[in-house]
Each structure stands twice: as C-alpha cells, then as structure tokens.
Amino acid sequence: GAGGIPGFVLGPCCNAGTWPKVGVVRGSLTVVLVPHPTGVCVAGYGSSDRNEILQLLPPPTLQAKETQGLCPERDFKVECGGFSSRPVYSLKHVPDTSLLVTSGPPDSSLHVWQVSGEDSDVIKPVSAIPAENSTGQAWAKIATISTKAPWVLHGSRIDNVRVTEVESQKNVYVAASRSSEELSGMAFLDCNTLLLCCTRGQLGLADVRHPQSPVEAAAVPSAPRGERWCAGVGHGPPGSDLSSQPVACLSSGGHLVLADVRKISEPLASATCRVPSPGCGAEFLCVSWAPALEGCLAVSGTCCWAETFLFWKLF
C-alpha cells in the first residue's frame, strides 16, 4: 500500500507464481496478491464510510507464463465486491480459504470478510475481531497463516501482539512484553515462529508455544535514528531451516539491511537505496521479496501516492 491521496489498497487473493508484469498503480491503494486464478483484491482507504473492497481478475496478458504480443484484453475485471465502513489500511488473504482480513483506523480491531463463490458477486462482512483497549491505538498490522488452522497475527505495539483463530476468535497466543514500541509489520516464519518489526528499526522473534517468554526486540545494526523502518521476509524451500530465510529491513531514508533471523545483530549486507521523497508517507513503506525472481526486492509506499514500485536485484 501507499499513503497520501484517498483511494485504494491492493492485496493478493490468489497464489500468483510471479508478480504482475506491470508495476504502476495510480491513486492510494491497499493491495493483496492472491494465487492464480483468483486474482487481486483491492480496497479503498479514504475518509468515506463506503470504502470499496473488490476482487479483480487480471487480464490474460498478465496471467500468461510467457511474454505475449499485443492483447485486446488489457483491463482488470471486477469479479465481486463489497463496502467497508472504515478505511482499509491493511488487507490479507487467509491461505486455503475464501476469507479476507482487514484493519484500519480508528482503532486496532480487525474485520473478516467472505469472498463469495460463483453464485454471488458480493464480498460480505463475516465478523469483527476486537482488540483489548484498542481505542486510541494505531491500526493493527496483520499476517495470516493456515498451517494448523486459519490464524491471524495482529497488533499495533509489541505489548498487544496476539495470534487469533479467525473462525472461533480464540486467542492462540498473547505476547508477554512490557515494551510499547509501535510495530510497522509482522510475519509468520512458520506455524510457530513470529517475526515482529518495530518502526524504530528493532526486530523481535516470538514462539507461540512459549507465550510466557518475553518478546525481546534487537535493533537493526547501524539503524539511523529518526527514520521509520519496515521489513520483508524471504522464504526458503519448504522444510528449510529458519536461518535460510533472510530479512530485508528498509528505512524511510533508503537504508537497506539484510539480516539472518537468528542473528539479527550480525547483518549479512547493507546498502543505500535511492527512494523518492524519503519520509513522505512512510507509514505505508513496504519492502517485499519477489516470489519467483531470486534475490530481488520490491519497494513501495515511498512517496505521497503509490505511483511506482522499485525493484532491486540483490544477488
């Protein structure tokens, strides 16, 4: 996603093996990439109480495995949609289900949506997952997984992180921490291990099997102060050790650090990236690994409106 002008947020809703070949998005979008052939989900995050959530089917030219010539069908087609009464700042698909989870101001609660089947064109609200003492808190960052059951990892600060079963709303894990550091993102490394990224550049690991263990966050080496940080996790082959999953940490000033999740204090590499308008719209800063392009990163949300994606070849 990217901030600035009220508009839309994109997000995957299907298992796309590669990223779209077009990397330009106009307006403010929350995006979720979903595996083929479902398509892409987009959601608005303007000030309106009718923010659209749409599922779009990519044109054939974007679904082709090989480069094609001119294609008459170049537009995304709306398959189904719905409306959210609040802005959608984060949008995640729950793997192996037809559920979406969204978050956004004015608090850190979550909303669960059902993407309808072929007999309906409606994305309908299913339930809300409240957050304890969420009034006045920042919007929740979220991650999803379905290894054991449909779970959502969510929270706005380290001390309110939890893992909730989407359908029963039962808390599977509640973080033990006294830190009130604000979070910029989070991820499941596997069904038991969580990675948390703080806005000031700290990374923390948590294990859902040991909820009593306090979550300790270690600073990214040489992290400049006063900049906002985000992180993206690369995934190794199925069954690979966590140490094979590199973490890319990016600051709003363009500082990029690669780290091993088990040795955060020892960076694997570092570089300075040229990002447009550093600090502008940094709340939506995002770095992610290309699923089918080895050693490549994509950066978005670096300017006041989501105009471009930057791609970096690392190795």
Mean pLDDT of 35-59: 79
pLDDT at 66: 65
22 band by pLDDT with thresholds 50, 70 and 90: very low
Architecture of the CATH domain 8-65+75-313: 7 Propeller (2.130)
Alpha carbons 203 and 106: distance in angstroms, whole number: 26
Q: What is the pLDDT of residues 125-171, one digit of tens each?
A: 999 999 876 566 789 999 999 988 999 999 999 999 999 999 999 99
SS3 annotation, the chain? CCCCCCCEEEEECCECCCCCCCCCCCCCCEEEECECCCCEEEEECCCCCCEEEEEEECCHHHHCCCCCCCCCCCCCEEEEEEEECCCCCEEEECCCCCEEEEECCCCCCEEEEEECCCCCCEEEEEEEECCCCCCCCCCCEEEEECCCCCEEEEECEHHHCEEEECCCCCEEEECECCCCCEEEEEEECCCCEEEEEECCCEEEEEECCCCCCECCEEECCCCCCCCCEEEEECCCCCCCCHHHCEEEEEECCCEEEEEECCEEEEEEEEEECCCCCCCCCHHHCEEEECCCCCCEEEEECCCCCCCCCEEEECC
29 band by pLDDT with thresholds 50, 70 and 90: low
pLDDT at 129: 96
pLDDT at 242: 61
Residue 266 has pLDDT above 70, yes or no: yes
Of the candidates 70, 96, 101, which has an alpha carbon nearest to the alpha carbon of residue 15? 96
Alpha carbons 299 and 312: distance in angstroms, whole number: 8
pTM of the model: 0.83
Alpha carbons 4 and 201: distance in angstroms, whole number: 23
Q: What is the pLDDT of residues 237-256, one digit of tens each?
A: 666 666 567 899 999 888 88
pLDDT at 223: 67
